Copies of this chain bind each other. A is one copy, B any other.
Amino acid sequence: MSQPDTKQRILCAAEHFFARDGYHPTSLRSITTEAKVNLAAVNYHFGSKESLLEAVIERRLNPLNEIRLGQLEALLEKTERAGETPMCREVLRTFVEPTLCLRLHGSDSEDFVALIGRILAEPRGVAMTIFMNHMEPLMNRLFQALALSLPEWSRQTLFWRVHFAFGSLSHIMRCHERHSIVPDDVNIDVPVDDLVDIFLDFATAGMEATQ
């Protein structure tokens, strides 16, 4: 093979454009031009534009969800051994920290974070079905764990608050671009660890709020 990484180059270029411009506005021609491959390579290697999107999602989401699930199970095991109940903040952290870590410069997954943020914002989009299939087991486990850490709240209340927390998270996943109104004296480039804590302060308080 003269260029053994054709598929990878397509995946990277597609990830880049899908994240920046969205799925529909991105043409296969712009992807293949950026990837320096022939136009037909997409259909040859992936079958269709939609299958390409699926491949882009799966390449990063599967490893990410394994990390998330691993951390969550580890936390649950640890607290159960100690006869304790997991803290809401720590449950959330197992989900949030691996996510925001991908925003690190040079993590080569920066685009993916923005892409997921966009997917979460397109309720009936092509990507949502693909995405949700890969998220459902983890989501159910996370919901269980949160119910364990917040036994005083009804499932109804819990559901909405998880919803809100995910809304917040998906919002900042989209926003390494500053498309919102940023006051002059606010620095938007905070280290990832700080951002995780800033977010967990907010989300944990929201989850634990008295009615």
Query: Chain B residues near A175 (CB, 8 Å)?
Result: 123, 163
**Interface size class of chain A, counting residues whose CB lies under 8 Å from the partner chain:** 35 or more
B159 touches A123 (CB 8 A): no
A185 at the interface (CB under 8 A from B): yes
Closest to A200 in B: B209
| Interchain CB contact (< 8 A) of A24 among B25, B156, B174, B202 | B25
A47 surroundings in chain B (CB, below 8 A): none
From residue A198, how far is it (CB to closest CB) to chain B in Å?
Answer: 5
How many copies of the chain does the oligomer comprise?
A: 2
CB pair A208–B205 under 8 Å, yes or no, is yes
A20 touches B124 (CB 8 A): yes
Among A36-44, A79-87, A176-184, the stretch that binds chain B is: A176-184
CA distance A180 to B22 in the complex (A): 20
**Within 8 Å CB of A211, what residues of B?**
201
Distance, CA A114 to CA B121, complexed state (A): 10
A17 to B169 Cα, complex, angstroms: 27
Verify B179–A128 contact, CB threshold 8 A.
Answer: yes
A174 to B179, CA, bound (A): 19
Interface 1/0 per residue, A169-211 and B, CB below 8 Å: 1111011010111110111100000010011011111111111
**Cross-interface CB contact of A164 among B136, B143, B199, cutoff 8 Å:** B199
Tell me if A203 and B201 are in contact (CB < 8 A).
no
The 26 listed contacts between A and B (C-beta, < 8 Å) are A22-B125, A24-B24, A120-B171, A121-B121, A121-B174, A123-B174, A123-B179, A124-B179, A132-B179, A132-B181, A136-B181, A143-B183, A155-B186, A160-B202, A164-B203, A167-B169, A167-B171, A168-B171, A170-B171, A201-B206, A201-B209, A202-B206, A204-B209, A205-B205, A205-B206, A206-B209
